[in-house]
Amino acid sequence: MMARSKIEWTEYVWNPVTGCSPVSPGCENCYARRMARRLRGRCGYPADDPFRVTLHPDRLDEPTRWRKARRVFVCSMGDLLHDDVPDEFCLRVFSAMAQAKRHQYLVLTKRSERLIALANEVMGDNLLGPHVWCGVSIENADYLCRLDALQRTPCYARFVSFEPLLGPVHDLDLRGIDWVIVGGESGPGARPMDPDWAREIRDQCIEQNAAFTFKQWGAWAPVDDTLRPGESTIGHRVRVVGNTYMWRIGKKRAGRVLDGRTWDEYAERRR
């Protein structure tokens, strides 16, 4: 269903597909899985297995009803490119987007090889125009193959979400990448992000002319940047990550300031 979103890099979410299954360490503490469990038996989430991949054909016409242009995250509660989503239904989703091109659609996946194949098909059908941005999610250097696949995907604009960022990513090749998002992990079991991992990606974006958004610290934040006068870390969980003391203070208080400022760059399509 369509709903206004609190996600910093989008305005609305649209979920013609919900549900997913883990493919890599970034999936370990999936927020969508937690939310689906809370919605068990309601809002289209199966009572027996709320995060089972589920198609929602009744939602396909929702974008045509939105008169004002919106930035829309497609399938925030699942992965459109999951193996359990038939090609035919994927094509129906892209067709629905093509019927309301006034919106900008952000399609994010961890299944980058299927993205290449599907993009080739929908591009041929004139369904993958400038209104669709294709993106991949990467948590550490072990999954940079997704970036390579994205760069080989025939689309008009590309973005990468390094969230949750779980390790350093050196020597990024950002050719053909318009926009990069970095964020730490929040919620139960959240793992802290070394500030230097985020800085390194930011600096590489600046060097290679890719827009950079710092979405959040997540549950953990640098002590030196967030400790208030007269406050103590006693009573909080503290970890040393790299060269930084991090403490668990929750997403809201941790905020999204990196090196004294927020980073909200957003790329319009430049090719």
Mean pLDDT to the nearest integer, 150-169: 96
Tell me, yes or no, whether 210 lies in a domain: yes
| Matching residue, tokens 């960022």 | 165
Tell me, yes or no, whether 85 lies in a domain: yes
Tell me, yes or no, whether 238 lies in a domain: no
**Residue range of the domain that includes 43:** 3-220
Residue 46 CB neighbours (<10 A): 15
Residue 223 has pLDDT above 70, yes or no: yes
Query: Can you read off the two tokens belonging to residue 185?
Result: 């992990």
The pTM for the full model equals: 0.96
Q: Report how many domains make up the chain.
A: 1
Reported confidence tier of residue 269, pLDDT bands at 50, 70, 90? very low
In this structure, what CATH number is given to the domain that contains residue 142? 3.20.20
Convert the pLDDT of each residue in 99-138 to its tens digit: 999 999 999 999 999 999 999 888 766 788 999 999 999 9
Residue 268 has pLDDT above 80, yes or no: no
Mean pLDDT to the nearest integer, 20-30: 98
Tell me, yes or no, whether 25 lies in a domain: yes
Query: Can you read off the two tokens belonging to residue 210?
Result: 């890719």
Tell me, yes or no, whether 262 lies in a domain: no
Tell me, yes or no, whether 89 lies in a domain: yes
Tell me, yes or no, whether 253 lies in a domain: no
pLDDT reported for residue 216 = 98
Percentage of the chain beyond pLDDT 90 is 93
Tell me, yes or no, whether 200 lies in a domain: yes
pLDDT reported for residue 82 = 98
d(CA 97, CA 83): 21
